[in-house]
Structure formats: C-alpha cells, structure tokens
Amino acid sequence: MDTSAIVWVLISAALVWIMTPGLALFYGGLASTKYASNTVFLSVIILGLAPFVWMVLGYSLAFSGHGTFIGNFDHILLNGVSFSKTTMGLKIPDGAFMLFQGMFPIITAAIITGSVVGRVNLKAMLLFIPIWLVAVYAPLAHMVWGGGWLAQIGALDFAGGDVVHISSGVSGLMLAILVGKRHKPADEKDTPDSIVNVVIGAALLWIGWFGFNGGSALEANATAILAFANTNIAAAAAMVTWFIIDFSRTGKAKITGALSGGLVGLVVITPAAGLVAPASALLMGMIAAPAVYFLVDFLKRKFRYDDTLDAFGFHGIGGIIGGILTGIFADKADGGLLATGSLHQTLIQLVAIGVTIVFAAGMTFIIAKLVSLITPLRVEKAVEERGIDTALHGEYISIMNSPQFNNRFRAPGSGSGHFGKQ
C-alpha cells in the first residue's frame, strides 16, 4: 500500500462529499423563495440515503463480479471488503476505493432533484432515490468502471460524464416530464432566493470537483495533477465564455450567469480530465459554454418541459458534449480523433452516451411509474401554490423569507418588499 495514495484518495473523497452541500446551496440559492428550503432538503437527505444504499447493496452491484451489465452480491454490507489490502491491483486498500466511489452516487442523486424541486412529493422522492441508485447508478458504474460492457468496448469516462452527469441529467428530465410543469401565475418570476448562497455553493462545488476529477486517478501522480489542472482550466474558460455571451446579449453582468458557465466547464471536463492536454481542456470549456447556453433555452421552448433548475440542461447536455469532446481531444494513447485521425474512439463515445441516455431514461420511467402506484409523484396544487416550504418544511433558508419576518417587519399591505415600522 502507498501512504501518499491513500491520503490523496481519502482527501478527495471528502472533497467529493462536500459537493453535495455545495449543490444544495447552489440549487437553493437559485430556487424561488417558495421552495428554496425544499430544494436544499432534497440534497441534504441524500447525504443519508445514498451512503446507506451504497453500503448495503450499491457497492456490491457496481464493483463485484464480472457481469456484463451489473455486479453480484459478494460484497453486500461490505462483506469481504478489505480496509488494509487491495484485490484490484491498486495502491490503496479496497476500503478506500469503496469510500471514494461511494461519494459519487450522493452527488449524482442530488443533481436529479434540481429538475423537480418545489412540486415533487417528498414521499415519492424518498422511494425513488434508493431504487434509482440500485437500478440505474450501480449498473452504469459497473458497465463503465467495474469492468462491464462499456469498459470492454473501450468507452472513456475518467470521472463520471456518463455515470454521473448524463445519467442524472436525463433522469431528471424524465422525472420532470412525468411530474409535470409547475403551477404558478403567469406573472410570477423565478427570482433567486439568495445570490450569496449561489456563490458559496458554486465555490464548494468548484473546490470539490478537484477531488472529483483529481481523485479519480486513485493515487497522487502525474495524472492526478493533470486532472486537477484541467478541471480549473475548463471551468475558467467556460465561465469567461459564458459571461461574454450573456453580457453581450443582456447588457447585465450577472453573478449567476458567470457561475453557471463555470459549472458547465466543470461538467464538460469530467469525462476527459486525466485524458487530454491543458490546451484541449481550454477548448472544451470554450466550446461547451455557448453550446449549453443556447441549447438549454432552445430545447425548453421547443419541447416545453419544466426542468426547474436546468439539471438536464447543465449536466445532461454538458455531459453529452463532454463525452463527445473526450473522443475528439483524448491523447494518442486513448485514441482521440485529433491525435490519431481516427473516428473509432469518438464512435465508441457516442455508443456509450446513447446507452446511458436510453438506460437512464427508460429505467427512470419504470421506477417513477412504480412509485406512483404507491404515492403520487407530486404534491397537491394548493400546497405548491402556497409554497412547499411553508406547507411541508416550516423553515426557510433566509429569515427574510419567513412569514414571521414578513409579519413583523414589513408594512401591512406592502407588496414592494420595503420595510415598515415595527
């Protein structure tokens, strides 16, 4: 065992864990004041649900056996998982590998919730998420990273373009379609609850992504350094590109826009982080930003779906673009188009992306329909219109949004939000 590798992987695991509270703040800050607490809660509860599922069954199905599509039950309840030696030829014990990999399903499931916050039935989500982790995440992790079919055909996914981002984005979209659009007055605007929370959340996501991508090297080596550098380069390039486009179109220098661009860059580099040169990471960020910027609005207008916080737009579309660009920009050893002049790897990438989309969408549809037989997928219209934070949670991300604050400090009858006398 290599002590430096163990330390690096454990630190990286902690960084990946912190991404989910970061996503909670990012999503919660962007959400309407009517469901900001609901948005944060759905991510927070997954911090408990996903590790439970991973320990009991998920890790075994993802990383045991030699199945084409899924593992077996050898490591249920982490049975036989060594915390002192490796059976995988790595420089870290199997327990450290399990711990690091176990952080990924947490953030993956949390991403899905962004598509349906404010209107999804909590009971339905508490049933949906564990089943989805077993029936969708675990098989995809096995197919890509556990020696399954997509690994066997040579698909490249360094840190989760298929397994994390496309699967969660597509599943979020399917769930949003099944749950239905939000009920809201035509003149109600989606005003972010807290820009401060958006900034804090984005910062936690960005720093966590260094562990997400850099840790996927599974040791402290040159590949980890490359992945770490490429993560920052792609995010920076996408942030600047997004800002230039948005500012030129709207005339407003928006914090949320710049940070959204950075997030797109982080998504697009994920499958390629340790496989491409820094110059390619720069180009990937610059290509992804305008592609996602224009596609998100176009697809939502064209197909009229309600992806509340653009989980599909950022993670689904960004992941698809990242997977394709990985096949184009990967180094010569990995068969990248520009390095070899061959389309072979790019075609493999398209196959893996297609399989992920079809599998995630199909299984999400089936799981959601099964859950709907037990409990409705969405809350009652009256609860939604009143605000799910008030009806279900009774707590508020910002005290200024609470009824107690409004009743005490706002002038009676004031609809402008100005403070009145006590």
CATH of the domain at 62: 1.10.3430.10
pLDDT at 353: 98
- Better-scored residue on pLDDT, 193 or 141: 141
Domain containing 361: what range?
Answer: 3-372
Residue 417 inside a domain? The answer is: no
Q: Is residue 272 situated within a structural domain?
A: yes
Lowest mean pLDDT among 23-37, 140-154, 406-420: 406-420
Tell me the pTM: 0.94
Mean pLDDT in residue range 179-198: 82
What integer is the mean pLDDT of 404-412? 51
Q: What is the domain count for the chain?
A: 1
In a domain, 396, yes or no: no
Across the range 140-153, mean pLDDT stands at 97
Residue in the structure block whose two tokens are 């009971």? 123
Between CA 157 and CA 166, with CA 163 as vertex, the angle to 5 degrees is: 100
Token pair for residue 104? 């990924």
Note whether residue 385 is domain-resident.
no
Residue 199 within a domain: yes
In a domain, 406, yes or no: no
pLDDT at 398 over 80: no
What integer is the mean pLDDT of 358-372?
A: 98
Contact status, residue 269 vs residue 231, Cβ threshold 8 Å: yes
| Token pair for 415 | 């609809």
Question: Taking 80 as the threshold, does the pLDDT of residue 410 lie above it?
Answer: no
Q: Is residue 323 part of a domain?
A: yes
Average pLDDT of the chain is 93
**Is residue 382 one of the residues assigned to a domain?**
no
Which range, of 51-60, 106-115, 382-391, averages the lowest pLDDT? Answer: 382-391
Confidence (pLDDT) at 121: 97
pLDDT score of 416 more than 50: no
54-67 mean pLDDT: 97
Quote the CA–CA distance of 210 and 231 in Å, as a whole number.
Answer: 7
Lowest model confidence (mean pLDDT) among 121-130, 320-329, 393-402, 412-421: 412-421
Cβ-in-10-Å burial (0-12, 13-18, 19+) of 382 comes to exposed
Of the two residues 406 and 253, the one the predictor is more confident about is: 253
Give strand pairing partners of 410: 419
